[in-house]
Structure 1
Amino acid sequence: MARQILLVEDNQSNRELFVEILRLNKEYELHVAENGIQALEMLETFSPDLILMDIHMPEMDGLAVTRTIKSIPELAAIPIVALSALAMKSDIQSALEAGCIDYITKPIRIRDFLEKIAQYSAVRETQTSGCKEQTHL
């Protein structure tokens, strides 16, 4: 069964690049949202194995979307990886505090990016009695 990945990216050229890279692996079924609001609407009908979240988007930024997702019990265990061109420690810390499990800076290194995607799409974190457990899919 294919691993479901939701890519949330407002920039068309970045979106096309990520789609091309991720479609190289036939194990992934890719869903694409062009903004945070569209992503939240899509999450009403399915629960992906991984969300790749652009941080800087108009209307609703990736941090707000991440906080919203993490506040919904049925979606809170989905790993979210932040994507951003900003690499300051404060930017990374803000994403982690919002609920992201990792932070990937753009431009990406394709090999490293694919390794992280494989790792995070195979592992889903769940909260049980306040303890984190890793469940392999």
Structure 2
Amino acid sequence: MSAMIISGSDIIACMFASRASALGRNTAQTWSFLVAGVCLMACAAGVVDSIFVMTMAILARMALSVVFVTIYVALAEIFPPWCQKTALPACELMARLGGCLSPSFGTLPVHLSLPLFGLACLVAARATTKLPDKHTPKEF
């Protein structure tokens, strides 16, 4: 049942991500990071295995899936072509490193790890507002 809910949430997130261009990529990323941050903080305040915590966790996962998809779109839109060959591997490296380290963070107490990840999402939301929506070549 959990795998079905998670897979369904990923499909819904991809549908939201496909509409991100209508909102603006930065706006979609910022709001997704904010939703994920708030949901993760709410998970820390809830009772373990409650419907509330599960709902907040699924919403956070959906929001972060939207962010993940829009970041890859941003690679093609923000970075100049000569820089894309460095930016994509750097993003992949960080994603793989996070994937390798994430089981270690699972051993942290929930009341510590969830607010930490929620805060990281809020910081990322702030950083996203500083990114341009499109690459603008500089004139010399």
TM-score (norm 2): 0.33
Task: Flag the structure with more relative contact order, 1 or 2, with Cα contacts below 8 A and sequence separation at least 6.
Answer: 2
Q: Of Structure 1 and Structure 2, which has the larger fraction of its residues in helix?
A: 2
TM-score (norm 1): 0.34
